Each structure stands twice: as C-alpha cells, then as structure tokens.
Amino acid sequence: MTGTTGAVVLGGGLAGLLAATVLARHVDEVTVVDRDGLPAGPEPRKGVPQGRHAHLLWSGGARTIEALLPGTTERWLAAGARRVAVHQDMVSLTAYGWQHRFPGTQFMIACSRPLLDHVVREAVLGHPRITLRERTEARALRGGADRVTGVTVLPLGAGREEDLAADLVVDATGRGSRLDRWLPALGLPVPETDRVDPGIVYATRIYRAPHGMAADFPVVSVYADHRDGGPGRNGVVLPIEDDRWMVTLSGTRNGEPGGGEAEFLAFARALRHPVVAELIAGAEPLTGVRRTRSTASRRLFCERAERWPAGLVVLGDALAALNPVYGHGMSAAALGADALDRALTEHALAPELAARAQQAIARVVDDPWIFAAAQDICYPDCRTDVRDPRLTTRAAERRRFAELIGATAIRSPSLSAATTAVSTLSVPSSSLEDPAVLAHLRRGPQRPELLRPPLKAAERELLARCAAAGEGVAG
Ligand SMILES: Cc1cc2nc3c(=O)[nH]c(=O)nc-3n(C[C@H](O)[C@H](O)[C@H](O)COP(=O)(O)OP(=O)(O)OC[C@H]3O[C@@H](n4cnc5c(N)ncnc54)[C@H](O)[C@@H]3O)c2cc1C
C-alpha cells in the first residue's frame, strides 16, 4: 500500500452521499459507486423509484444533513423548497382526531425527492476527495469472514468486472441490497432480520397548486385510525417546488389505492375526511397516477451478529427499510451517517470500527423502526416475521402508552412539542419518559377537541373555491 487510506461507498442515494461526506473527513480517497448515471439536475432516476412519491424530510434529519453539509437548507429553500413549521403550517387528521395548529417547534422541508437529492449530490460530489463511479454495479464483496478488503464492480456496458480495494466498504444500496448473498459468499451468516409488511401501496399524482394556494397553504394530511380494525388509508397534499402539489395516497393490504384517475379521486373521497379530495377536485393534474408496492419494513440486526467483518458498514435502507408513511427513512439515513462519523472519530480505521459503527447506527435507527413496526402490526393481514419483544409479548403495553400520549398531545401544546420532537427524530423517544413530559400527560388535554379541519378563514375560502371548481368539473 502507498499509505493512503481509501473507502468505497456502494450506492449514491442519500445514505451513500452522506456517508461519503463523513468518510472524506477521515480517509484520503472516497469512491462512490452507483449503478445509475446520476442526473445533473433535480430529475427522477431509475435507481430511486420512490423519488416520484411524497418525501417529507423532518427536522431531525434536516438538521443532521445541515450539520454534515452546512448551507444545504438555504440551497433547498433557494431552489423552491418550503420550510413548513410543525404543526403551525399543517392541517392533520391523526388517528386520534384533528391536531391543533400549535406554534411550530419543529419543521419539515417540503419539496420533491429529486430536488432534495440534487442539492446534496452537488455539494458532496464537489468534494476533492470524493470520486463518483457511475453506471457501475457492485457485484460482490472481497476479502473473507474476518475482513472485507474491497468490492468487485461491473462498469455497465464494459462487460468486464473490476476489483476496487478499500480499507472500508459502506453498503448504502438501499432496499435492494444484496448483503443476503454477499455475506454468505464470505462465509458469514445473514444477520438476524425482522420484517413487518402491512402491504402498503402508494399512489401519487402531481397537480398545479390552484391560484393563491402555492406559497403558504398548509400541508394537509389525513391519516388512518389503526384501531378501527380496517385497512389503513392515508392521504397527503405536499407542496413542492414550482408551485405544485404532490398528492400521495396510500392504503394497507385490501385497502390499496387503484392506479386510475377516477380511482384516485374516489380513494381520496373515502378517507376519514374528504379534505384531500376537496383540494384536488378542481386542481389541474400535471401527471398520471404512479404507484409502488415497495414499502415493507425490514431491519437487519448486524450489531447482533456473532462475527462481523472489519471493513464493512451497512447504512440507510440497506440496513433498515421503513414503511414510508411515517416519513423517517431519509432522516434515519442521515442520523446513521452521523453515527458513522462519531465512530470514525473514536476508532479511526481500527479493526473494531465496523462493529462499533454498526452498534451506533443501530441505536439511531431503533426509534424509527419501532414507530413504524409497532403501528403497522395493528393492521389486518399485516405479515410479520419478528422476534423483537416490543412487537410480540410487550406490544399491547407499548401500544396503550402510545395511544394515551397520541390522543393527549393533539390537544396539549407542551405535550405536542415533546412528541413532535420525537416524531421528527429530533430527540430520542426515551425523552417521553422525562418527568416533565409525564406531568404534561397527567394534566391531560388543554384545548377542546377539534371537530373539523383547523383551517384559517382565508384557507377555508380557498378550499371552498377548490371544492366548487371540482363540482363544476364533475358536473
Ligand atoms: C414510496 C416511498 C415514499 C417514501 N417517503 C419518505 C418520506 O416521506 N420521508 C423519508 O424520510 N423517507 C421516505 N422514504 C424512504 C426513503 O426513500 C429512503 O429511506 C431513502 O431513499 C434511503 O436512502 P438510501 O440511500 O439508503 O437508498 P436509495 O435512496 O434507495 O439509494 C440506493 C442507491 O443505490 C444504488 N444501487 C442499488 N444497488 C446497487 C448496486 N448493486 N451497485 C451500485 N449501486 C446500486 C441505487 O441506484 C441508488 O442510487 C420513502 C420510501 C418510499 C418507498
């Protein structure tokens, strides 16, 4: 060796790009390998098909990305993203009723996924220590059960495989990660894996936001009540750049949205409240309806493996793919990259680095994993393969606490601030056990129950105009 240190990151999605940023602080050369040709602008691409659906980036993830790549938030906003104050700029029907629009203590970045990625990609790939190998597919890990020493790749179109040596390989290839084949090829077992699949189907259509509703109309969402015994059906109207609305509907097994235009509207009308349907009724559609079924939650417990090879770290959806309804995947990827940074600061490239990093990453993905999994197991026909006691023997007790806190928080400003900090992945869920938070819970709801969407007078007028335009179209 020449004395230079090198890392290879497999996958140039959000997790891979953030991992590359982190690695560039600790090693001399970082190579990012992606199967796709990465677009020069904010365009959808084949390797991230989910990018055509609504992607909410919560403040826990946004702040972490900002800390890793200073200036990113400003660049998102300059490119047309909105900073939405949670819950001030939101109208949400939760499982427990309408959420009061308390002053925003957290936020979300609202724009398309291609724009989120583009801004991050430009910043990361401009780094002098980071090189991109696009149109190049990762095929296998090199090394053995004790240490991964590199990766075999296939430059697409070239027809001949190549070996890239590395002190550290990061698998950030997303839901389609081949670790279940790559590890056995090194003589290692596949790590323990839990799966929770409520059979969610996503259907998304983009609309032009009606006149007067692009700049600051609230984000509107209607969520399922997982306690009602039926499939979970949800809908969200998310403002995105260029004065558009991305409308995403989703339904669990036997309650899935169809792919036709009429089915899309009918599904929106049948949600627990018709506000989403009223909004889109008179809006001009800019695309057809696109659907995906790639939504199940699946977590690898690499940190529990008896033997974990030095030189290999798994991150992002490759480690924990989450039901997207909760909007946690990108934030979990960011928190995972940050955990990798801390592990590298402590252990540099020492042999124990990979196992320590995997433990640190596991700690930050645990909250989003359990939020998604614990709620999803309530839906009928949810397919599960889990060992986690929080999803088996202790599930009912956990659910009772979550329901009490959820029903109180929508009507209590202090409790809402505490739960929103957790649900935006800004603080760990253990903060809900804080005596001050429990005192807010005991105090109970501080505001009346809302019986209709908490729209301001001007917003209600705009909504009425949309609904009336829809009747005109229908008639
Ligand atoms: C429908 C849907 C909606 C979602 N909504 C939200 C949301 O609202 N909020 C949120 O935070 N998260 C959301 N998510 C989750 C989010 O999309 C993922 O968590 C996030 O993309 C994970 O990033 P990643 O980099 O791990 O994987 P990806 O973004 O999937 O990137 C993987 C990359 O690896 C490349 N690749 C794959 N295999 C290979 C290979 N063999 N060799 C080389 N390259 C390879 C791909 O081309 C791609 O670039 C949603 C997911 C879905 C499915």
Give me ligand 1 centre to Cα 15, in Å.
Answer: 8
User: What pLDDT score does 472 carry?
Assistant: 54
Residue of the CA atom closest to atom 53 of ligand 1: 50
User: What pLDDT score does 2 carry?
Assistant: 62
- What are the DSSP calls for 112-154, one per residue? -HHHHHHHHHHHHHTSTTEEEE-SEEEEEEEE-SSBEEEEEEE
Contact predicate 168/311, CB 8 Å: yes
124 is written with which tokens? 């990361």
81 is written with which tokens? 């993203």
Give me ligand 1 centre to Cα 352, in Å.
Answer: 28
- CA atoms of 439 and 405, how far apart (whole Å): 11
Give me ligand 1 centre to Cα 174, in Å.
Answer: 5
- CA atoms of 410 and 130, how far apart (whole Å): 45
> b/e for 93-102, b at 16 or more Cβ within 10 A?
bbbbbbbbbb
Angle at 340 between CA 321 and CA 127, to 5 degrees: 100
Which distant-in-sequence residues (6+ apart) come within 8 Å of 211 by Cβ?
none
Give me ligand 1 centre to Cα 321, in Å.
Answer: 9
| Helix, strand or coil, per DSSP, at residue 25 | coil
- Compute the radius of gyration of the chain from its Cα atoms: 22
- CA atoms of 271 and 50, how far apart (whole Å): 23
- CA atoms of 127 and 30, how far apart (whole Å): 10
- CA atoms of 254 and 258, how far apart (whole Å): 11
The domain locations on the chain are 6-49+114-195+295-373, 86-105+201-292+393-475
User: What pLDDT score does 475 carry?
Assistant: 33
- Do the bridges between strand 168-171 and strand 6-10 make them parallel or antiparallel, or are there none, so unpaired? parallel
Residue of the CA atom closest to atom 37 of ligand 1: 173
Give me ligand 1 centre to Cα 333, in Å.
Answer: 9
Counting ligand 1 atoms within 8 A of each CB, the residue from 317, 322, 326, 424 with the most, and so the one to mutate, is 317
Please choose, from the candidates 306, 304, 311, 302, the residue with its C-alpha nearest in 3D space to the C-alpha of residue 350: 311
Give me ligand 1 centre to Cα 55, in Å.
Answer: 11
User: What pLDDT score does 470 carry?
Assistant: 73
Residues with CB under 6 A from ligand 1: 10-16, 33-36, 47-48, 50, 53-57, 137-138, 172-174, 176, 202, 292, 294-295, 316-318, 324, 327-331, 333
Give me ligand 1 centre to Cα 108, in Å.
Answer: 19
Which ligand 1 atom is nearest residue 172's CA? 26
Which ligand 1 atom is nearest residue 15's CA? 25
Residue of the CA atom closest to atom 38 of ligand 1: 173
Residue of the CA atom closest to atom 41 of ligand 1: 138
Most distant pair of Cα atoms in the chain: their distance: 75
Which ligand 1 atom is nearest residue 315's CA? 26
Long-range contacts of 225-231 (CB under 8 A, 24+ apart): 225/95, 225/96, 225/272, 226/95, 226/375, 226/378, 226/379, 227/95, 227/378, 227/403, 229/380, 230/255, 230/380, 231/255, 231/256, 231/379, 231/380, 231/381
Contact predicate 117/13, CB 8 Å: yes
CATH superfamily for 6-49+114-195+295-373 is FAD/NAD(P)-binding domain (3.50.50.60)
3-class SS string, 303-360: HHCCCCCECEEECHHHCEECCHHHCCHHHHHHHHHHHHHHHHHHHCCCCCHHHHHHHH
Written as tens digits, the pLDDT of the chain (475 aa) is: 468 999 999 999 999 999 999 999 999 999 999 999 999 999 999 999 999 999 999 999 999 999 999 999 999 999 999 999 999 999 999 999 999 999 999 999 999 999 999 999 999 999 999 999 999 999 999 999 999 999 999 999 888 999 999 999 999 999 999 999 999 999 999 999 999 999 999 999 999 999 888 889 999 999 999 888 899 999 999 999 999 999 999 999 999 999 999 999 999 999 999 999 999 998 999 999 999 999 999 999 999 999 999 999 999 999 999 999 999 999 999 999 999 999 999 999 999 999 999 999 999 999 999 999 988 888 889 999 999 888 888 888 888 999 999 999 999 999 999 999 999 999 999 999 999 999 999 999 999 999 999 999 999 999 999 888 876 544 3
User: What pLDDT score does 398 carry?
Assistant: 85
Contact predicate 202/295, CB 8 Å: yes
Q: Determine the residue type at 22.
A: V
User: What pLDDT score does 235 carry?
Assistant: 98
Contact predicate 268/274, CB 8 Å: yes
135 in the Ramachandran plot: left (φ > 0), alpha (ψ -120 to 50) or beta? left
Give me ligand 1 centre to Cα 394, in Å.
Answer: 31
Counting ligand 1 atoms within 8 A of each CB, the residue from 18, 58, 173 with the most, and so the one to mutate, is 173
Give me ligand 1 centre to Cα 225, in Å.
Answer: 27
